[in-house]
Structure 1
Amino acid sequence: MSLRKYTDDELIQRIEKLVRTERRITHLVLLHINEIEDRKIHLERGYDGIYSYLTKGLGFSDGAAYRRLQSARLLRQVPHVAEKIEAGTLNLSQLAQVQKCLKEASQKGLKVSAAKTAKILEKLELKNGFETTKALATEFDLPIQTHQRTIPQKDNSVRLEITLSAEQFAELQMAKQLLSHVCPEGQWSEVIAILAEKFNKRKFGGRSLKVVC
């Protein structure tokens, strides 16, 4: 399908319409998932669970199936969340995160009412992933993770998992903004590497250090 024939305005109108349609279809998919699970139709079709049906039967990736299944289960408790999905103020990633928190709270013996869940969802509207995670950590009083991990990988790269204080992260964010002309993609690995290189060169009189692996 060629889109070259459309003007800029027509192209924008088309994609906006498609996005609205996609959101409407998404919430309908969630309703269908719940109905199929209630009727146990997936079992009649030879699937051992609804997740298996979503991945093997419908071809969703593991992540896509997980987000839809968790969102569908949240939709049972808070039906009006469908309106939020269609409006684009909440997305499946947010709903899956909320459902995960609710499940963990339930496992601890804590009951979160539908009314409270609805209020939590209101606070998440139009928030990005970082803001959503932060809000849920506060709402569900999630424990602060302070462990650090250095994980070597087969290509000699290293994966770092660290916890920064609010002040430390603010300093790092400022450095990231100041280096935006050097790191336009804003990758944290690039920002940290450049800061380390500048510090080392200043410390060692401008000499570059050779890393021995």
Structure 2
Amino acid sequence: MNLKALNQNELDLRIKSLAQKEREVLHEVLETLKEIDARKSYLNFGFSSLFEYLVHGVGYSEGSAQRRIDAARLLRELPGVAEKIQTGEINLSQISLVQKAAREVIRTRAASVTAEQKMEVLENLGKKSYGQTQQQVAAFFDLPIAQGTYKKVHADESVRVEFTLTKEAFAKIKNAQEILSHAVPTQDLAVFLEYLADKVIKQKAGRTKENAPVHKANFESKDKMPNIANLSELDEVTANVAVNITDRSLTSANKRIIFKKQPCCQWVDPQSGRRCESKWLLQIDHKQSRWAQGSNQLGNLQVLCAAHNKLKYMREAGIRNIS
């Protein structure tokens, strides 16, 4: 179609018609997402969460994915909201603000937010701007106005991050900086956060090969396991452990070897061959389950994220859906 041939009234009618069709398609998208979420289908596709599936499997941006997830889950609670979305009375950004506020209430007050409360605040958001919606949602739930996190990746792959902290959260960070001022003698918040990240990573990873030896567990000899200098050496150590390990020797040392060999979720979608590779809430799983006489030998162990570990269990137990 040659749009230049249309007069301004025809262009006006056209964009309004397309906008309505777009809202109708959006409703279909949300209903489809609601069903995918209910079935946890994304796990079968090799993704650890609906968010990861929408971003890396479907191609939405992170913000677009989260808004659609918030809306789809709200539709499960409040089916009547669908009509408001189709008419354009409320939009995804408004829904996402309400859902985010509800999560904040649960997190900070350990209090539940009912579907009726969500509907009450949504009823008053029709045609309001983003700023007006922020103010109204914050007032309704008695929360400070939330500011989103802004991230910009530079050419050198450094990342500029902007976010707003509550007064209380900022006070906690300043207090932590004061406590650790001997270790991090700077007021630079970026340096301090990197220091904290390093500490957490080292604590979770256990003693590193540079500063501590890893001990053998239940080897036939009582010698200590050598430090692991490279992957080929690790393969040799792993092979030895796989031979000598006993059913009751899934120790911290062995767990470190498993996580070294498998640093991410190993779940593979049998159709696409896609590996999950999530690093979120990793757990060690028995390929042949313990209840089916599966052993603790390393060859029977794999790393799965919590979501795929639960899916595997549900399948083995013959339970159809994950709640």
Aligned residue for 1:110? 111
Where do residues 71-150 of structure 1 align in structure 2 (5 Å cutoff)?
71-107=71-107, 108-143=109-144
Length, aligned pairs only: 150
State the secondary structure of the residue aligned to 1:142.
coil
Identity over aligned residues, as a percent?
41
**Distance in 2 of aligned mates of 1:97 and 1:82:** 17
- 1:69-98 superposed Cα distances (whole Å, 9 cap, x missing partner): 111112211111111111111000000000
Task: Name the residue aligned to 2:253.
Answer: none
Provide the rounded CA distance (Å) in 1 between the counterparts of 2:68 and 2:142: 25
Question: Cα gap change, 1:94/1:144 in structure 2, threshold over 3 Å: closer, same or farther?
Answer: closer
The one-letter amino acid of 2:75's match is: L
User: What are the ranges of 5 or more consecutive residues in structure 2 without an aligned counterpart?
Assistant: 147-161, 165-323
Question: Cα deviation per residue 1:151-184 (whole Å; 9 max; x = unaligned)?
Answer: xxxxxxxx9x8xxxxxxxxxxxxxxxxxxxxxxx
RCO higher in structure (CA 8 A, sep ≥6): 2
Q: Distance in 2 between matches of 1:8 and 1:98?
A: 37
Please, what TM-score do these two structures have when normalized by structure 1? 0.65
Structure 1 runs not aligned, ≥5 long: 146-158, 162-213
d(CA) in 1 for partners of 2:141, 2:113: 10
What's the C-alpha RMSD, in Å, of the aligned pairs? 2.3
Q: Which residue of 1 aligns with 2:222?
A: none
1:73–1:99: 8 Å Cα contact kept in structure 2? no
Provide closer, same or farther for how the CA distance between residues 144 and 4 of structure 1 changes in structure 2, counting only shifts above 3 A.
closer
Higher mean C-alpha deviation, range 5-14 or range 97-106 = 5-14
SS of structure 1 residue aligned to 2:5? coil
Amino acid aligned to 2:133: T
Structure 1 residues 127 and 144, CA gap change in structure 2 (3 angstroms): closer
2:20 is aligned to 20
Alignment of 1:1-213 (within 5 A): 2-107=2-107, 108-143=109-144
Distance 2:39 2:53 in 1: 14
* Distance in structure 2 (CA, Å) of the matches to 1:23 and 1:144: 28
Q: Secondary structure at the match of 1:124?
A: coil
Output one character per residue of 1:24-48: Cα deviation in whole Å (capped at 9) or x when no partner.
1112211111101111221111112
Contact persistence 2:135–2:145 (CA under 8 A): no
Report how far residue 144 of structure 1 moved.
7.2
User: Does the 8 A contact of 2:94 with 2:130 survive in 1?
Assistant: yes
Structure with the largest fraction of helix: 1
Contact 2:42 2:49 in 1 (8 A): yes
Q: Would the aligned equivalents of 1:70 and 1:99 in 2 still touch at CA under 8 Å?
A: yes
Distance 1:40 1:137 in 2: 32
In 2, the alpha carbon distance for the partners of 1:38 and 1:130 equals 32
Larger Rg: 2
